[in-house]
Structures are given as structure tokens and as C-alpha cells.
Structure 1
Amino acid sequence: MAETTVNVSTQEKKRINPQIENMKTVWRKLRSNYLAMAGGVLILFFIIVALVGPLLTTTDPLAPNVSDRLQGPSGDYWFGTDHHGRDIFTRIIHGMSITLYIGFLSVFIGMIVGVILGIVSGYYGKRIDAVIMRTMDVLLAFPGILLALGIVAVLGGSINNVIIAISIFSIPVFARIVRGSTLSVRKLEYVDAVRALGASDFRIIFRHILPNILSPIIVQATLRVATAVLTASGLSFLGLGAQPPTPEWGAMLAAGRNYMWDHPHIALFPGLAIVVVVLAFNLFGDGVRDALDPKLKS
């Protein structure tokens, strides 16, 4: 009995150790990429600011103050004030939560729907594959920002409609990546063995195929957040996203363009915020991609 227990324990360790070693290898690669780590630290900082920052600010980001309008950066107003006298720093802090909310939620929705469509298309093939992929091709025929513009124009300008628009044009990207990965994994011998043992399609898909195609999904999701943030800001800049006086960075940038020459700080700081957030996600996404790529040696 003791020998049996030892053998089972040994087998369990052999099965778990490769997973642990793989995670350690990924972390070691990611840690050695200083740009990716810098991007990850910035993302963590942005998340903390989005959660805690609005609770620490004392100025109302929506309340106008005509007596302090169009003031430059100073000790009282670190980023200056806008044409309504509102503190730009406070508005950027409050806008952080809106920006990350749009970015994460839209990508999450697009990822869930795209993964389901892609894995079903790649696993079953034939007519199901043809119908799903041709639909994705139609969506991919439109540039992302143009498709989002059309959707928001139909639904109306609001944050929720922006999330819906970004989610829709993110679906085909995930669907095509997942389909390709599924096609390569479903041909492996262990999938045939599990099917021969009587496992259902649901079990094969979610217990044996999906865990083995997570790497490209994670990489694409990380990079897609940057695209979502940029698209949401662009829609708000055009007046189709968050509506004034919401402290959304794209809307703030649009409001500041009329004062670019005399008071450039109104547009400068929201623009810099967008650039830094997008850059952080791109740097981190590139690092995650390199760390998860089995073809790259540490």
C-alpha cells in the first residue's frame, strides 16, 4: 500500500512539474525583457490609479470654475485647467477608469465570442466552418475604426455603444486565430485517443483543445486592449463616444483642439495619457508574445 501511494505521488509530481517549469520559463523570459516589464509595471500602475485615484481627488471633475479657466500648469493645478476651469489632472485621473473599463470589457466580450466561434469552426469544419469564416471575412473587409464608426452611428454615441462596436470588430480577429490553432491541435494523437475513449465534443474542446491554444489568445487580448483604447479615444474625439462633460480622454482632446496654439496644455496631457497607455499595453503584449513563443529560446 505504501509503495502504491508513493508511485501515485511520483506520477502526479511528474505531471505537474512540467507545467510549473513551463510557467517558470515564461516568467524568466518575460522578466529578462525590460521593455515588457516596464509596460507591465505601467499597466499595474494605471489599474491602481483607476481604482483608487478618484477616491483621493478632492476636485469635482465635472464642476466648472469660470474664475480659474485656461490656467497653465502650476502648484494648484498640476496639468492646468480647461476652458471651463476644470482641473485637467483630476479629469485625467477619473478618465483612467473609463478608458480601462472600455478597453478591458470590449476586448473581453470580443474574445469570448471570437474564441467560441473560432473553436467551433475549427473543430467541426465543413459547412459550419464555411459559414462562420465567411461572416468573419465580411467583418474583416472593413477597417476596424470604420466598422466601429458605422456601428456607433447606428446605435448612437455613448460609452456602452462604443464597447459594443469595439467588441464586434474584435470578434473576427480572435475567431481566425483560434480557428487556426484549433485546426493544428485537433489533429494531434492525444485528441484522437480521448475521442476513442468516448469523451464528448464539449469535453474535448474545453478540457483538451482550449488549454493548449491559450497562448495566442492571451497575446492577442493584451495587444487588443491597446487597439480598443485608441479606437475608443478616436470615437470620442469625433463626438461619437463619451459625451461631454464626461472626462474621457478622447473627448478632452477634442475639446482642447480649439485652444492648441494659445493653451496647448488642454490637449497635450490627455494626448500624452492616451499615448502612454497604448504604449504600455503594446510593450507588454510584445513581451508576452515573445515569452510564450516556444520557438524562442531563453
Structure 2
Amino acid sequence: ALAEIPAFGRLLRGGILVQREREYVTAARVGGSSGPRVLVRHILPNAADPLIVQVAVSLTVAVFIEGAMSFLGVGVRPPEPTLGSVLSQSMPYLAQAPHFAAGPLITVTALVLGLSLIAEALNREVRR
């Protein structure tokens, strides 16, 4: 999470720089709104769209990394059930009962695919 802070900061700064040059911001300032009010009511809501897309992308990556790390045994410790650890524990039984691995595999795939589709839809909506 800490590694993502610079990316979110750059996105927010870029969005603010673009939005502060818009006509509605100038109109709000001319209309007598204070700087903080213009920032909170006008600039930040319009600059937040790319951040929402970045959150969806970051969640997708986080789910994938957590599953991979738990599968390899370097993630969450075994008493805690995670999709990666459940998949790792089902590997010895793969020849006898392949359906044991199907649950975690389908869940991870559906979760990552779903979050990716949400991020893509949000990205298309922001670009309009």
C-alpha cells in the first residue's frame, strides 16, 4: 500500500492541475468562493476519477500478488485461509482429486478478472 502512494499522488496532482484551469473553477472564484471551498467542491470531485481507476487496478494487482505469495509460502501464514494457501495445500491431492484445486483457482481467476473488468469500465467512463 505504501508503494502506491506516489502513483496516487501524481494522479491527484495532475488532475488538480488540469481542473484548476477550467472555466467553472474561474467562475467559482469570481463568484466569491474561497480557495479551499473551490478545491473541495469543484476541483477534487472532478480530479478523483483517475484515482478511482487506479484503486481498481491496485486491488487487482494486490489480490494476484497475495495469492501468488501465499501459494509460494511467503505470504499469510497457514492458520489463516487464503486462496493461495488453499491452492497450495490442495496440490498434493491434485492427481486423486483435481476438484480440490478448482475452487481456489476459479475464485482467484473470477476475482482478478472481475476487478480488471471494473477497472477497464471505469477507465472508459473517465475517458469520455
TM-score, normalised to structure 1's length? Answer: 0.38
Does 282-291 or 191-200 show the bigger shift? 191-200
Distance 1:236 1:172 in 2: 26
Tell me which residue corresponds to 2:94. Answer: 260
Distance 2:127 2:25 in 1: 22
Tell me which residue corresponds to 1:239. Answer: 73
Structure 1 residues 146-295: aligned runs within 5 Å? 167-195=1-29, 197=32, 199-200=34-35, 202-294=36-128
TM-score, normalised to structure 2's length? Answer: 0.79
Could you tell me how far 1:195 is from its partner in structure 2?
A: 4.4
Could you tell me how far 1:291 is from its partner in structure 2?
A: 2.9
Distance 1:251 1:267 in 2: 11
Structure 1 residues 13-28: aligned runs within 5 Å? none
Distance 1:261 1:170 in 2: 40
AA partner of residue 55 (structure 2): A
Could you tell me how far 1:273 is from its partner in structure 2?
A: 0.8
Say whether the 8 Å CA contact 2:15–2:48 is kept in structure 1: no
Distance 1:222 1:267 in 2: 26
For structure 1, the 5+ residue unaligned runs are: 1-166
C-alpha change, 1:198 and 1:265, in structure 2 (3 Å) is closer
User: Can you list the C-alpha shifts for 1:44-71, whole angstroms capped at 9, x where unaligned?
Assistant: xxxxxxxxxxxxxxxxxxxxxxxxxxxx
Q: Which aligned segments of 4 or more residues in structure 1 are displaced greater than 6 angstroms?
A: none
Distance 1:203 1:170 in 2: 28
For structure 2, the 5+ residue unaligned runs are: none
C-alpha change, 1:179 and 1:237, in structure 2 (3 Å) is same
Structure 1 residues 129-140: aligned runs within 5 Å? none
Distance 1:199 1:211 in 2: 16
The SS at the match of 2:48 is: helix
Could you tell me how far 1:274 is from its partner in structure 2?
A: 0.2
C-alpha change, 1:284 and 1:236, in structure 2 (3 Å) is same
Could you tell me how far 1:212 is from its partner in structure 2?
A: 1.1
CA radius of gyration, larger in: 1
Distance 2:22 2:48 in 1: 16
Distance 1:184 1:244 in 2: 47
Structure 1 residues 20-169: aligned runs within 5 Å? 167-169=1-3
**Percentage of pairs with the same residue:** 35
Distance 1:204 1:238 in 2: 49
Number of equivalenced pairs: 127
